[in-house]
Amino acid sequence: METHKNILMWFRRDLRLLDNTALYHALQSGENVFCVFVFDTTILNELKDVSDQRVDFIWRSVIQLKNNIRDLGGELHVIKGDPIEEIPKIVSKFEINAIFFGEDYEPRAIERDKRIKLSLSKYKTQVRGFKDQVILEKSEVLSPKGSPYTVFTPYKKAWKQKMADISTFTELKLNIRNFAKCELTEMVKLTELGFTPPVDSKPYIEAGETGGQECLGAFEARIHDYHHQRDFPHLSATSRLSVHLRFGTISIRQVFNLANQSVSSGHMAWLNELVWRDFYFSILFHFPHVVNQSFKKKYDALKFTNNQSFFEAWTNGNTGYPIVDAGMRQLNHTGFMHNRLRMITASFLVKDLCVDWRWGEKYFAKKLLDFDLAANNGGWQWAASTGCDAQPFFRIFNPLLQSKKFDEKGAFIREFVPELRKIPDRFIHSPSLMTLEEQENYSFKLGIDYPCPIVSHAEMREQTLKMYKEALAQ
């Protein structure tokens, strides 16, 4: 690789030192490596919640990253502004010959990087992006005809063939001698970004590289049972790594090394989840229209009723369907939602309340700590039957059956819907079945303490089937 006197390492979705591809190559090929992170005001200005947990997570992760780089003799310059304006300023200030960063595959990020590359042409600065947040990217997995896969199973087969010779990735060791010796800078305060810490004093998920490693270690101890327990929201059975993968506080290759051990069905099930993740990144990269439109464009003809009161009841967790309400309240309170509940709540919004999937996707984008456009869009279009390899439109989750199957004793429901804690197991999934006498026995009043179901699942199922059939007939 070509050597440069001064390289700028631009941290983005890779807030760590361990096994960081762009940083590794920067330190290998640069005499002096300057580091920068930009709090992007074009994104921050769109956020309405001043206590947004994602900003707090990033801020805490950047503090840790800054301290870790400083311990190695370097410095992380933390800036607030528009990267299109700020990056050229840094390049000019430090006489940067090349800028390295981890690739981003979202349409907005791709456009941003194109504009920055153009603006740096006058400085004759080399711009290099490196694969870091996925295992296989862009066009690394294509069909024999050279086209991107749009069905998961053949994609997975091709993906695994590509990875057949790699059992583990070797950690990229950093040449720490090449961090640039420069003036130490102050960390931007959270309040200076226009945000405040979340209401809860203790964060739901620990931030930074330390948090990522702790999370991976905890999951390693239970991954053997992952395939058995992952669908039950009251169990601590999932990895909780999604937010760390989202912001790069852990290496996707380190996670792959754990999953690819294949010593149990749990490992294999988790590996498939990583393949799904790459698959959705591939779909977003090759078919950027999915950001605002259905992957299967014929479904853009769906005539959703978009009842605003239904949507608000869903967002607030007041639909009268306990498993749905528990999931939404978990999201609102913690910024996290169990994956099974993401499917249940999404299906309910689209197919029981007849609300456009884009409304739900946008709400999740505001609330999810681990929000990732590729996965969020892919998940919502799967539930709405509008996406690639999605659930067929005639398969509609029955929220009552889902509740009984995955939260049999109502442990999860009782945790997040406290008004139902005293309700006996036989009514926990459907309090509306209680007689007035039974309600009185448990000091519970349906419609006052907890809402009646806002819709009939059976009736809405028929309405939804009709809506989809009409769209397909056009």
- Report the 10 Å Cβ neighbour count for 67: 12
**CATH code where residue 147 lies:** 1.25.40.80
Q: Inform me whether the pLDDT recorded for 201 exceeds 60.
A: no
Per-residue pLDDT tens for 128-184? 999 999 999 999 999 999 999 999 999 999 999 999 999 999 999 999 999 998 889
Residue at which a domain ends, from 238, 265, 286:
286
- Round the average pLDDT of the chain to a whole number and report it: 95
Q: Is the pLDDT of residue 197 over 90?
A: no
Do 67 and 114 share a domain, yes or no? yes
Please state, in angstroms and rounded to a whole number, the distance separating the CA atoms of residues 356 and 342. 16
**Span 362-416, pLDDT tens digits:** 999 999 999 999 999 999 999 999 999 888 889 999 999 999 999 999 999 999 9
The count of structural domains within the chain is 3
pLDDT (mean) for 230-240: 94
Domain end marker among 286, 313, 328 = 286
Residue 138, pLDDT score: 95
Structure tokens at 195: 């945000």
Would the pLDDT of 282 be above 80?
yes
| Bridge partners of residue 461, in order along the sequence | none
Say if residue 202's pLDDT is above 80: no
Kindly report whether the global pTM for this prediction surpasses the value 0.85. yes
Render pLDDT for 299-328 as a digit per residue (tens, 0 to 9).
999 999 999 999 999 999 999 999 999 999
In a domain, residue 37? The reply is yes
> Side chain identity at 440, as an amino acid letter?
E
Do both 259 and 318 map to the same domain?
no
DSSP 263-290: SSHHHHHHHHHHHHHHHHHHHHHH-GGG
Q: What pLDDT is recorded for position 204?
A: 67
Instruction: Inform me whether the pLDDT recorded for 296 exceeds 70.
Output: yes
CA atoms of 274 and 243, how far apart (whole Å): 14
End residue of a domain, out of 221, 251, 286: 286
Label residue 109 by pLDDT band (50, 70, 90). very high
Judged on CB neighbours under 10 Å (0-12, 13-18, 19+), 169 is middle
In a domain, 193, yes or no: no
Q: Is residue 174 part of a domain?
A: no
Do residue 147 and residue 122 come from a single domain? no
Domain residues for 309?
A: 297-473
Q: Is residue 189 part of a domain?
A: no
Which run of H or E residues covers position 215? Answer: helix 208-220
Same domain for 113 and 62, yes or no, is: yes
Q: Which residues contact residue 265 at a Cβ distance below 8 angstroms, ignoring those fewer than 6 apart?
A: 227
